[in-house]
Chain A
Amino acid sequence: MKTFRYDRAGDISGAIATLAKERTGVFLAGGTNLVDLMKLGVMQPDVLVDVRRLTSTEIQDLPDGGLRIGAAVTNSELAADRRVRSRYPVLSQAVLAGASGQLRNLATTGGNLLQRTRCVYFYDTTTPCNKREPDTGCSALEGFNFGHAIFGASRHCVATHPSDMAVAMTALDAVVRIQGPGGERELPITELHRLPGHEPQRDTTLEHAELITAVDLPPPGFASNSRYRKVRERASYAFALVSVAAALHVRDDVVRDARIALGGVAHKPWRARRAEDALRGQPAVEESFRAAAQAELEDAAPLRENAYKVTLAGNVMTRMLLDLSVS
């Protein structure tokens, strides 16, 4: 492992100021992904600025009925929170579908959003990867892309974002609170992660030394009727082939509103707005759900090995909406 400096600032402003001066530094929170990547030489920061004890570990009620989740809230705490479980079941289920109990005890809310892709070429420093080393090429494009993107990929990168939690938050229209050298700002979570384009080395729209301090969940609305479904190759402790976070509002057998996000299909959690648009005002029957799923998947561009994801995503979206329509 390359030698690095470890820095623990006294407060958030101090941490940001420290990192702002270190172009090759990064924040450290739970470290469950970052430290692995450092051991493998995939990431080689010169400085780690530890923010684990700086951001909030609390989940607060907001006046509008929403929740504010401190960035240092662990995945385990988030999933177990009574308010989250009753008002936003999709989020609790998503978190519990990820990683293992040990990892969830350590991983934080902010860090979970910033975990990096699980593409095998990204993890192997002896093969080309534009995300790890810009302009070296994408090995997955013509290689093992079984687990890769069917939406929004570019010829520079076909990787997917691995988080489950972020998929649920995307369906919930969460807002990410950010503090940086230029002050504080808020960002809809759908604008946090980005598509690879010609800069796959950038996973998010965060600027250097910007720190996620909290994630706000808007008032639940119909989110209490929500679910997360993760399809994977073994029963637990595996990244999603495809996952679906969905919330559905049905009244008088008609779909009034829906929120759907997909995981494992793109470089970012994929908000299925086309499916949502196709659903509003439709009868809450299987044909509507199947048609909505198809509307979303029309633009899917599968790679050599992952056409199955199109079928899979369609089946799972349909099944989940059907289940939500009768629950």
Chain B
Amino acid sequence: MTTIIERRAVGKPLDRKDGPLKVTGTARYAYEYRFDNPLYLFPVQSEVARGWITSIDATAAEAMPGVIAVLSHENTPRLADTSDREYAVLQSGEVAFRGQYVAAVLAQTLEIARYGASLVRVSYDEEPHDVELRADRTDLYAPATVNPGYPTDTQEGDFDLAFASAAVKFDETYTTPMEHHNPMEPHTTVALWQAGDLTLYESTQGAHWDAGTLAQVFGLDRDRVRIMARYVGGGFGCKTLHANTVLAALGAQVAEGSPVKFALTRQQMFCGVGYRTPTIQWIRLGASEDGRLTAISHDVVEQTAKTKEFAEQTAVATRTMYATQSRRTTHRLAALDVPAPSWMRAPGEAPGMFALESAMDEMAIRCGVDPIEFRVRNEPEIDAETGLPYSSRNLVACLREGARRFGWADRDPRPRARQEGRWLTGTGVAASTFPVIRFSGSVARITCAGDGRYVVEIGAADIGTGTWTALTQIAADVLGAGTSDIDLRIGDTTLPEASVEGGSSGIASWGSAIVEAARVFRGRHGTSPTQGDQAQAAAPDNPQAQRYAMHAFGACFARARVDADTGEVRIPHMTGVFAAGKIINPKTARSQIIGGMTMGVGMALHEESLVDARFGHVMNHDFATYHIPANADAGQFDIAWIDEEDTHVNPMGSKGIGEIGIVGASAAIANAVYHATGIRVRDLPITPAKLVR
């Protein structure tokens, strides 16, 4: 049993510690570090999707006053390790996707670098490219595992038999489009080589991770790479190491001694820094007359890059959500001439639960059972994937509490039966889930600063999520200090090692390290330490993770209004109730959930990266044409927590909440749109064109 910390600050809605710095513009982001005479880098991107560079003519760019160098594979230093082809930047003339960096201009101003880049002439020996994902491709393959190591396929019982004999059958295909993360701050790097040391000011979710990988790629000792990332303007999964950082470091290597600044333009954010794969999801459900599932099948087709495999775990949530006699899940990939997809907020769960939770709504209707009762009726006792009991599972409580807050009891189930003026109205519900993930390897250091004050150090990241505040609260409680007595230091590789901010794991991973460091500190220095007393410890592994299945759950409710003339959809109100263990800071957590649900509105109604197969790249590469919700699209959010005490997950009793907000939101909206209009949209996003009649 994990010892739960005594909570005093934890659980309080503390204001963001970094709030005043951010609203006054004094929190320094990577690109804002000031230097004398920095250089600016602007990349040249491939205009073919596949082939070989035959020549590079940089004469015009090199002749421009202010241009320092034009980098290409012909003159750029060799990297030590090119086994990960995403990082093999400017190492050969091969082009693997359209938009790949094929050259870069270093110049004294950004404007010169940018114009210089437009003057570089690259010739190609172009080869036919292939960027189209279709379910009927003959070259689909099963990856060894799906992200981050789940089995590719699973089977319980005899699905075919159970489905064939089911009293009620459901069989439909859902699709979700390619989506791009687009945090407000683009990927930015300031890179500096000096006497064999590489220093980076970087917008990243994992400074230590990046430093380790860069050291390997450049063949440096790990301690020669330093990364600072104190403030990060959003991540959503794309602020991990991509080619842009390697390119900036290469630029700095060429211009040794000069800081090299490289910030992606918004257009460049649509190429090479990750995206969510499009998915094609075939769902079949079988149930008894009384609405008990007997067969569940979820078969996924999605894409990866020829150069680097990323297999989104789209059907994994389906393995744990509901009880059934038989179940099968599969993932198949098409390897295309595209940039590598990667993690985007709730990879797997976000697209997978759109399909499953839309299908659950459709099946509930087919069985004549209320969608909430249908889910409750199929609540499992143990986790079918692992055979383990849940450390805690409060989906039913979330559904019930959500129904109460949302006013579900009065709902008339008939579709297209309510109209207010020109607006058709409807309501929908969907379940949410996200696994409890804790990465190993995080280390915290605690130093007594005298007068009951402590310095707490860990190389963690705050990507806008509230890490500065939440870790301060945890440290205060484990040290018996006030939050104002904690001097937290994060976002720098000179601090003790921290795992990446991903998988909603940050607070669990880093908080556990702080708890352990405090335990060691008290053991060594007692309760009356003197200034300078110090202890450092790594978070121990959690043996409970072998005994329990650990997941957060939630229920998302949406009210939809659909214009009967135009098919315009508005979401005036959403309710989200989550069972996510102990909430460290209800204020920042609420912000996280609102952000996740708003991103779910975007996923449901707006977001779609359009790849023109003739050219091979995303065409709507700006915010005028790639829509995300505007303020006017975010309605009222009612967010609530189920008071959940889980002593198995970690010493804080917390589960991650960074991603679960988006899970279920798109299905809740799709289900509400169906209830409003009688039109079931199974391919996201739900645009007016799909609803206008």
Contact = CB atoms under 8 A, between A and B. Distances in A.
A312 B111 contact: no
A241 B632 contact: no
Nearest to A318: B565
Contacts of A306: 689
Contacts of A1: 111, 114-115
Contacts of A312: 566-567, 688-689, 692
Interface of A is mostly: loop
Interface string A224-264: 00000001111111110100000000000000000000000
A144 interface: yes
A234 B614 contact: no
A293 to B, nearest CB: 11
Nearest to A40: B267
Interface stretch (B278-286, B577-585, B617-625, B670-678): B617-625
B606 A144 contact: no
A2 B114 CA distance: 8
A234 B621 contact: no
A2 B115 contact: yes
Contact of B566 (A3, A238, A316): A316
Interface residues of B, number: 38
A316 B617 CA distance: 34
A311 B690 CA distance: 12
A106 to B, nearest CB: 16
A308 B633 CA distance: 23
A234 B115 CA distance: 34
Contacts of B115: 1-3
The size class of the interface chain A forms with chain B is: 35 or more
Given A118-B624, A234-B633, A241 B619 contact: no
A234 B566 contact: no
B595 interface: no
A308 B568 CA distance: 13
Interface in B593-639: 605-606, 610, 612, 614-615, 617, 619-622, 624-625, 627, 629-633
B123 to A, nearest CB: 14
B569 to A, nearest CB: 9
Contacts of A311: 692-693
A318 B564 CA distance: 12
B619 A144 contact: yes
Interface string B98-137: 0000000000000100110010000000000000000000
Contacts of A127: 612, 615, 619
A127 to B, nearest CB: 6
B22 interface: no
Nearest to A317: B565
Interface string A136-156: 000100111010000000000
B621 A235 contact: no
B627 A235 contact: no
B361 interface: no
A187 B631 CA distance: 39
A121 interface: yes
A327 interface: no
A124 B570 contact: no
Contacts, number: 93
A126 interface: yes
B420 to A, nearest CB: 15
Contact of B688 (A3, A120, A231): A231
Nearest to A123: B622
A113 to B, nearest CB: 19
B378 interface: no
A315 interface: yes
Contacts of B620: 120, 144
Contacts of B632: 234-237
A126 B118 CA distance: 11
A253 B344 CA distance: 57
A120 B619 contact: yes
Nearest to A235: B632
A319 B633 contact: no
Contact of A118 (B422, B617, B625): B625
A221 interface: no
B687 interface: yes
Given A1-B114, A231-B568, A121 B619 contact: yes
Interface string B53-66: 00000000000000
Identify the 7 closest CB pairs spanning chains A and B, nearest first: A235-B632, A308-B689, A236-B632, A315-B565, A120-B619, A231-B566, A237-B630
Interface of A: 1-3, 39-41, 118, 120-121, 123-124, 126-127, 139, 142-144, 146, 231-239, 241, 306, 308, 311-312, 315-316, 318-319
Given A2-B118, A144-B610, A236-B630, 19 more contacts: A1-B115, A118-B625, A120-B610, A120-B621, A120-B625, A127-B615, A139-B615, A144-B612, A231-B563, A233-B688, A234-B605, A234-B606, A239-B624, A241-B688, A308-B689, A311-B693, A312-B566, A312-B692, A316-B565
22 contacts: A1-B114, A3-B111, A39-B114, A118-B625, A120-B610, A120-B620, A120-B625, A124-B619, A127-B612, A139-B614, A144-B612, A231-B563, A233-B568, A234-B605, A234-B629, A234-B633, A235-B570, A235-B633, A239-B624, A306-B689, A312-B567, A312-B688
